Structure 1
Amino acid sequence: MTANPTATEPTLLSLPAPDEWPHWMGARGDAQLAEARRLVDDLKAQRPSEARQVLRVWNDAQTALSNAASIASLFSEVHPDRDVRERAENLMQDVQKLDTDLGLDTELFAVFADLDDTDLDADASRVLEHTLRDFRRSGVDRDEATRARLRELSEQAILLSQEFSKNIREDVRSIRVRPEQLAGMPQDWVEAHPVDEEGLVTVTTDYPDVIPFRTFAHDADARRELVTQFLTIAWPANDAVLQKLFAVRREHASLLGYATWADYDAEVKMIGAGQAIGEFIDRITALSGERAERDKAVLLERLQQDRPDATDIDGADATYYAELVRKEQHAVDAQRVRTYFPFEAVRQGLLDVTGRLFGLEWTPVSQEAAGTWHADVATYDVARDGERIGRIHLDLHPRDGKYKHAAQFDLVRGVRGVQLPEGVLVCNFNRGLMEHDEVVTLFHEFGHLVHHVVGGDQEWVRFSGVATEWDFVEAPSQMLEEWAWDADVLATFARNEAGETIPADLVAAMREADDFGKGYDARTQMFYAALSYDFHVHETPDLTERLRELMGRYSVFPYIAGTHMQCHFGHLDGYSSAYYTYMWSLVIAKDMFSAFDRNDLFDPEVARAYRDKVLAQGGRRDAADLVADFLGRPYTFDAYAAWLAE
């Protein structure tokens, strides 16, 4: 039995030439899965009694499995070649099958169950503790028939998840409008959408179209038509897929002795129990209720200036009128704001800001040297104190067949002395001017990337990168958003075509305007969280009808007739019952940010303490302990409540 020898120089992944991708995908995936199987077979055959030796071999097996999973997850969503995407989907099925088989392998479990952890250090003890927990949560201690059914359910779940994502990714809808219906749209957007031979303009449900259109287009009917199309993406196909997926999860949890999937899922998160999710949702709903109703009343009053007979306002109008309120009452014109944010300048500015903040250097790497999957991808090596610690890839523009949202994907999880961490940022921004909200999104997602790389210097792969409890992972990203709202930070890169820096008074007005709507935004997030939780707790024959009921209870905006938003709510797959984590993380993010001096967000002492005590730790300790170490106390709701009341 041999584990990988510790290397003196950890490696980076070599991506293939364009015509070699299909072969490379199969070869790397197969090789990594074969290595994982070999190591596990050796463990079972030789049954070493020394705990650290067992854990090292298991770590190598888990590293190989992670390597296969990472390329499968990423390239099924972003590769421009459909054949490669399908190969990646097939690889993910193989990864999930092997992972399930390992978790249900009683012989393998026995190797770990008999280990003596007396001489293990804290990190190795935590690996063993979490590994034994994983086995039990997989159902390894159930009877043979139950284990067989759990295996079937896991295989069904991955197929349903892939079908759900594929239906969203490939269902791009559109409306066609007359040129005069583009009134209000930014000029650069109009120029990028030429009139066709029939004298009409096509507007799609992809984010670079739908977000500015629902924000700026004066034509209410056109806005409503596009929003309705957006909220029916992947319907009706995904309605049936969701029903099957929820049923699989219900049975899976039941076979393991849990009352609901939410109870099973929450057990290993900070929140601890399914019931606590509902309690948290209701707590935030109550905390934000008065502010939400007050903000909504302002929107409705502004709508009534245009439509005196209006008695309510929904999501087809809310974004547009929120923009008008910010422009008229707070002197913030988003079309003026966006002139300060050309994409290329924002991307470089983000690198400069995060480099200065975290003590990192980003060095461009040519596509010839790094390899790539598309010409749009920009690659950078990451160094700290002159030593390379990882690599990032930025895939930031839309294309056919690509993941439609914004997310960070692993390409390689770092293992000390073996392989450097590599992460990929996948977004869908225009190549020209960016909305400030998009700048905030870019900072947010980049926060995950920094966490992945800075936290990637770990001995144990399960603690590498973004490896904390899942309801903490958004907190570092949400906190990094704060730098996209600071006038001094923005002044380092936000300039218009004339070279003028964004004025500090405009940024102050933007912050004030952003405060408007935070109440109903919180309520909207709680509606999403309730949807995620409720669908996994109650068997629901009509998902759309239940969505309407939950929307009435939690959101301040009414349901839009004929829509089926659940069908393209991708988090119902990835986050399952745990969408609450976005708000849970925000509570912690606001508290962590309170440690920074708002007059000097680049204070190196605080920034380095945060980097080293939170980000660099990966998953070596529970998230609550990481936060307490940084803050010098346990986290509280106080900073979040104060922010909500501002």
Structure 2
Amino acid sequence: MSPQPLALPADDWSDWLAGYVTDRLETVAETLALLADGNARDTADVLGLWNDADIALRGADSAAGLFVEVHPDAAVRRRGEELVQQVDRVRTERDLDRALYDVVAATDPAGLDEQAARMREHVLRDFRRGGVDRDEQTRARLRVIAERLTVLEQDFGRAIRDDVRAIRLAPDRLAGLPDDFVAAHPPAEDGLVAVTTDYPDYRPFRAYARDAEARRSLTIEFESRGWPVNDAVLHEMFDLRHEKARLVGYDSWPDYDAAVKMVGTGEAITEFIERISAAAAAAGRRDLDAVLARRRADDPAGTVDRSDIGYYTELIRREQFDVDARQVRRYFDFTRVRAGLLEVTGRLFGLEYRPVDVPRWHPEVTVYDVYAAGERRGRIYLDLHPRDGKYKHAAQFDLVSGVTDRLLPEGVLVCNFSRGLMEHQDVVTLFHEFGHLIHHVLGGRQEWVRFSGVATEWDFVEAPSQMLEEWAWDAAILGMFAVDETGAAIPADLVARMRAAKDFGKGIAIQTQVGYTAVSYLLHRDRPADHTGAVSDAMARYGVLPALPGTHFQTSFGHLAGYTSAYYTYLWSLVIAKDLFSAFDPADLLDPAVAQRYRDLILAPGGSRNAADLITTFLGRPTTFDAFATWLNRAPIPQPAR
């Protein structure tokens, strides 16, 4: 019998979640006890038992971690946090159990196939990185650190989720915003309009609001979420990560974290930051000079800060490239975009999405079973609109990790988009995040759950999703679903202008990402006493513009919990993504031959091979910097007004 999707409850979510997680943790305990019972077993049986326990542990972790971020009931979220702590304690105990390590280390790798041998190597590596070979006093301290870090990371994320801020304005200060935005923000009884730091408010406001003071006020609120509570959380978090790295034999947390990534070492991150910064310097200066010139056309004595970049970038695109994003959004009704995304990716990867009516945690969540050649390959949940207590960014979460003939992969896309008209940039984001979801499903046929789905080195994880963004810029692709209120498809010449306009601002965008990368890395490496000052210095040096006075960007920089010191991943992956895209024909992005070859060679293997090997197999050569450099150095070409 083929595996069936997980049955979620119609109600009593708290009890269901607790029971689901507890059952799996009991399976973990029973399976690991069996593994360490002293009976002789061959290598295949040892690894098989380890895999059984890992399947149960990952299932518990995925469910608890997901519903902490998305469930609308605060009590369920709190229950989920308690369960995540239990899961992490079990994982820590497993990884510090010397008896278990001895069982795995004593196995004979001779005769194992490539995947089983890789599995064995990864398990032993994880044991050593966990500190299993240290003395009992050190292992005891590592247990304390692991448990405390789990709590700190939860505190950090919760503070960001719950800290939704707002500015209140007279209605005339919405000048420049699209009509549907204004209509969705009627004045309250006191005559003022509230604009929040949630993305459907924040992004359009920064891009279109003519009121510079209001833009600045909202930016300050957005970049201070989580302050001041998260400042102390980050200090303790960074100190404990550093201590853990030192206890298991590394000089710093970045060295520890990088050792299992493509980059290899913390020092290599420094070198990459400098290389990307140098590569983007000319494009960033060109963009910033253009923004400053346009700003001074309004005010000869004017200066530019971070709250101005989005507005003046859009203004230049409107005036010099004939692209008004406020008009472009007419073509991107959310419901049509979602349907178009499924049609495009279905054709691209040979998939069919069949809607299913099953229990889910919120009425706005949509659910689809994913089929290939008539066979069900997984299930996806799309949770795409903001609400109180929900994760504030955009990400793909695992619900179930796929295992061949045992478990169907199930993933959840969590975003915060408008329910009506979308910004085109949000369409790009949707394609990006859906790339992770497809990777999870297509990579979910693995014997070893350790390699299921998006299980490659973490600095390759973003590359497939960044590459899929290209489809959101193609006229033929957009013509499949982007229509205005009259039913007219988005004109090809408008898409051509949009593509020309996106070349403007990319230098600033890349340098801003370099700034965030430096923040992520340097806060972990140096652990400065003054985080806010260090962030401002890093952004001034690498990110084009310093942080705004009065802001505390780091306290709402959620990636400091997940990506830790490795935010460089986004730029590292982007270099690879540009190279991967060079294998496609830009004139026919739905060519099934290259798309399905990419599906089979890059996505389907999951983490069963090193990322560098996947890339070389697909491209026929190792990856290079060339395609990225060509794209970055391509100067924007202004378009004449029609």
TM-score using structure 2 length: 0.98
Deviation for aligned residue 1:558: 2.7
Counterpart residue number, 1:337: 328
Counterpart residue number, 1:623: 611
Counterpart check, 1:292 vs 2:280: no
Q: Per-residue displacement from partner, 1:302-338 (whole Å, max 9, x unpaired)?
A: 000111102x311111100000000000000001100
> After superposition, where does 1:92-111 map in structure 2 within 5 Å?
92-111=84-103
> After superposition, where does 1:385-534 map in structure 2 within 5 Å?
385-534=373-522
Amino acid in structure 2 at the alignment position of 1:553: R
The answer as to whether partners of 1:340 and 1:502 remain within 8 angstroms in 2 is yes
Partner of residue 308 from structure 2, selected from 309, 314, 317: 317
Q: Secondary structure at the residue paired with 2:381? A: strand
Partner of residue 42 from structure 2, selected from 23, 27, 50: 50
Counterpart check, 1:88 vs 2:76: no
The CA distance in 1 between the partners of 2:147 and 2:592, in whole Å, is 48
Counterpart residue number, 1:234: 226
Counterpart residue number, 2:640: none
Amino acid in structure 2 at the alignment position of 1:100: T
The CA distance in 2 between the partners of 1:318 and 1:175, in whole Å, is 20
Counterpart residue number, 2:3: 10
The CA distance in 2 between the partners of 1:208 and 1:621, in whole Å, is 39
Deviation for aligned residue 1:47: 3.9
> After superposition, where does 1:570-609 map in structure 2 within 5 Å?
570-609=558-597
Counterpart check, 1:549 vs 2:537: yes
Counterpart check, 1:328 vs 2:316: no
The answer as to whether partners of 1:48 and 1:54 remain within 8 angstroms in 2 is no
Amino acid in structure 2 at the alignment position of 1:584: W
Counterpart residue number, 2:372: 384
Counterpart check, 1:217 vs 2:205: no
Q: 5+ unaligned residues in a row in structure 1: which ranges? A: 1-7
Deviation for aligned residue 1:559: 2.4
Q: Per-residue displacement from partner, 1:105-157 (whole Å, max 9, x unpaired)?
A: 00000100100011110000000000000000000000000000001000010
Partner of residue 350 from structure 1, selected from 341, 350, 358: 341
Deviation for aligned residue 1:556: 1.0
Counterpart residue number, 1:203: 195
Deviation for aligned residue 1:48: 3.4
Deviation for aligned residue 1:46: 4.0
Q: 5+ unaligned residues in a row in structure 2: which ranges? A: 635-642
The answer as to whether partners of 2:215 and 2:307 remain within 8 angstroms in 1 is yes
Counterpart check, 1:364 vs 2:332: no
Q: Per-residue displacement from partner, 1:414-466 (whole Å, max 9, x unpaired)?
A: 01111100000000111100000000000000000000000001111010000
Q: Per-residue displacement from partner, 1:487-512 (whole Å, max 9, x unpaired)?
A: 01000100000011101110011011
Q: Per-residue displacement from partner, 1:562-619 (whole Å, max 9, x unpaired)?
A: 0000000000110000000000000000000000000001111100110000100000
Q: Per-residue displacement from partner, 1:508-561 (whole Å, max 9, x unpaired)?
A: 110111000111111100000000000111121000011111111101113211
Deviation for aligned residue 1:49: 2.9
Counterpart residue number, 1:145: 137
Q: Secondary structure at the residue paired with 2:195? A: strand
Amino acid in structure 2 at the alignment position of 1:315: R
The answer as to whether partners of 2:537 and 2:546 remain within 8 angstroms in 1 is no
> After superposition, where does 1:117-136 map in structure 2 within 5 Å?
117-136=109-128
- Kindly tell me the number of residue pairs found equivalent between the two proteins: 634
The CA distance in 2 between the partners of 1:559 and 1:36, in whole Å, is 46
Q: Secondary structure at the residue paired with 2:37? A: helix
Deviation for aligned residue 1:194: 1.1
**Over aligned residues, Cα RMSD in angstroms?**
0.7
Identity over aligned residues, as a percent?
A: 58
Amino acid in structure 2 at the alignment position of 1:188: D
The CA distance in 2 between the partners of 1:83 and 1:498, in whole Å, is 45
Q: Secondary structure at the residue paired with 1:45? A: coil
Amino acid in structure 1 at the alignment position of 2:158: K
Partner of residue 37 from structure 1, selected from 23, 29, 32: 29
Q: Secondary structure at the residue paired with 2:378? A: strand
The CA distance in 2 between the partners of 1:550 and 1:283, in whole Å, is 15
The answer as to whether partners of 1:313 and 1:558 remain within 8 angstroms in 2 is no
Counterpart residue number, 2:551: 563
Amino acid in structure 2 at the alignment position of 1:191: A
Deviation for aligned residue 1:25: 0.6
Partner of residue 156 from structure 2, selected from 147, 155, 164: 164
Counterpart residue number, 1:5: none
Q: Per-residue displacement from partner, 1:72-116 (whole Å, max 9, x unpaired)?
A: 111000000111101111110011100000000000001001000
Q: Per-residue displacement from partner, 1:264-293 (whole Å, max 9, x unpaired)?
A: 000000001110001001000000101100
TM-score using structure 1 length: 0.98
Amino acid in structure 2 at the alignment position of 1:341: F
The CA distance in 1 between the partners of 2:592 and 2:487, in whole Å, is 29
The answer as to whether partners of 1:47 and 1:111 remain within 8 angstroms in 2 is no
Describe the shift of the 1:47–1:637 C-alpha distance in structure 2 as closer, same or farther (beyond 3 A): farther
The CA distance in 1 between the partners of 2:585 and 2:167, in whole Å, is 47
The answer as to whether partners of 2:163 and 2:226 remain within 8 angstroms in 1 is yes
The answer as to whether partners of 1:355 and 1:361 remain within 8 angstroms in 2 is yes
The CA distance in 1 between the partners of 2:508 and 2:176, in whole Å, is 25
Q: Per-residue displacement from partner, 1:361-407 (whole Å, max 9, x unpaired)?
A: 000001xxx21000000000000000000000000011000001100
Q: Secondary structure at the residue paired with 1:536? A: helix
Counterpart residue number, 2:70: 78
